[in-house]
């Protein structure tokens, strides 16, 4: 099969602080990028225990060049670099049979969810599609769903897994930790997490016939709650964006891909307003 992996970092076992996933940090980050890379490798090895897989990995955290190549299988491809126009789903298209989201985290506003946010928390407070509150998992699953690609596996904390099962009941979840607060977790050790991820990935690929592409069908309404009025000032410049409130923006799109593209554009342009002089 052809497997697409979007890998984030906050959901890595043991990780509980921004320092641990901040590329500017020279003490903690090097440790956790190695653990992140090993979790990606465990997911690939688990998938390949079920069937042969061609793998494309999209490094999707922060500057998007976190993965350590010496920790990865030698026969995969990796999308690295910041920024990528389609961000966490760059390169995801109809050429894939299934997707894994590793190291993912819950959406902004969820309690007992370590480092929970939705894309750029400095400009984005909330996102709804057709009234459905969306986190990164759902936004990205819906993008891949437009190309017929189902999400098979998620790895991260309990809050992530609980949220995802509401909309993606087929998804296999490797729950490597339980968040006890925004900045604290009760976690498996890295070694135990790698074993769990590999076994869950094997199951996810073995049972992939049960999985479905997640889709928002037909025309969609995108509602954005900006984090600040000044970010919203810039988002509102985008042609077609309405502004029902100071921090509220609305965009009607003919299909979900257009709504997703509009969301990415709004985040990028919103930064222009959110930056402090």
CB of 160 or CB of 249, closer to Zn ion: 160
Question: Smallest gap, in angstroms, from Cβ of residue 137 to Zn ion?
Answer: 12
Contact 76, 230 (CB under 8 A): no
Residue ranges binding Zn ion (CB under 5 A) = 8-10, 61
Assign 103 to helix, strand or coil. Answer: strand
State the nearest-atom distance from the C-beta of 116 to Zn ion, in Å: 11
Please say whether the beta carbons of 213 and 171 come within 8 A: no
Cβ-proximal residue to Zn ion, closest one: 61
8 vs 233 by CB, closer to Zn ion = 8
Distance CA 210, CA 186 (A): 31
Tell me how far, at minimum, the Cβ of 131 lies from Zn ion, in Å.
Answer: 26
Terminal-residue alpha carbon distance, the chain:
49
Q: Which is nearer to Zn ion, 160 or 231 (CB)?
A: 160
Q: How many Å apart are CA 65 and CA 47, to the nearest integer?
A: 23
Shortest distance (Å) from residue 12 CB to Zn ion = 10
90 closest CA partner among 117, 65, 124, 54: 65
| Among the listed residues 155, 51, 42, 48, the one whose alpha carbon sits nearest the alpha carbon of residue 105 | 155
Q: Biggest alpha carbon distance in the chain?
A: 53
CB of 202 to Zn ion, least distance (A): 25
- Which residues are 129's β-sheet partners? 132, 222
Q: Which is nearer to Zn ion, 35 or 211 (CB)?
A: 35
Contact of 218 with 232, CB cutoff 8 Å: no
Beta strands in 105-242 (DSSP E): 124-129, 132-133, 151-157, 172-181, 184-187, 220-226
Given the complex with Zn ion, which of 63 and 212 has the nearer CB atom? 63
CA 139, 144, 145, 147 torsion-angle sign:
positive
Measured from the CB atom, the residue of 41 and 61 that comes closer to Zn ion is: 61
Tell me the closest approach of the beta carbon of residue 172 to Zn ion, in angstroms.
21
Question: Least distance (Å) from Zn ion to the CB of residue 25?
Answer: 14
For Zn ion, the closer of residues 12 and 200 by Cβ is: 12
């Amino acid at each position: 099969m052809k497997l697409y992996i979007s890998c984030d970092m906050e959901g890595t076992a043991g990780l509980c602080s921004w320092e641990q996933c901040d590329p500017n940090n020279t003490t903690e980050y090097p440790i956790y990028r190695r653990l992140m890379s090993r979790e990606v490798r465990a997911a690939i090895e688990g998938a390949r225990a079920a069937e042969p897989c061609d793998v494309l990995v999209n490094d999707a955290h922060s500057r998007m060049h976190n993965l350590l190549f010496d920790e990865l299988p030698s026969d995969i491809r990796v999308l690295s670099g910041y920024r990528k126009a389609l961000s966490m789903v760059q390169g995801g298209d109809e050429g894939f049979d299934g997707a894994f989201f590793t190291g993912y985290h819950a959406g902004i506003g969820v309690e007992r969810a370590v480092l929970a946010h939705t894309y750029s928390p400095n400009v984005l407070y909330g996102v709804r599609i057709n009234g459905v509150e969306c986190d990164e998992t759902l936004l990205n699953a819906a993008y891949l769903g437009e190309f017929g690609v189902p999400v098979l596996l998620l790895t991260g904390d309990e809050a992530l897994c609980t949220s995802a099962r509401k909309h993606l009941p087929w998804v296999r979840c490797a729950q490597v930790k339980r968040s006890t607060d925004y900045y604290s977790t009760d976690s498996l050790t890295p070694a135990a997490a790698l074993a769990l991820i590999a076994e869950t990935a094997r199951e996810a690929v073995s049972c992939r016939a049960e999985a479905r592409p997640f889709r928002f069908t037909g025309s969609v309404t995108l509602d954005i709650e900006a984090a600040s009025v000044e970010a919203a000032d810039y988002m509102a410049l985008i042609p077609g964006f309405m502004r029902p409130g100071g921090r509220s923006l609305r965009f009607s799109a003919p299909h979900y891909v257009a709504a997703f593209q509009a969301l990415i554009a709004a985040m990028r342009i919103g930064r222009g307003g959110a930056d402090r002089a």
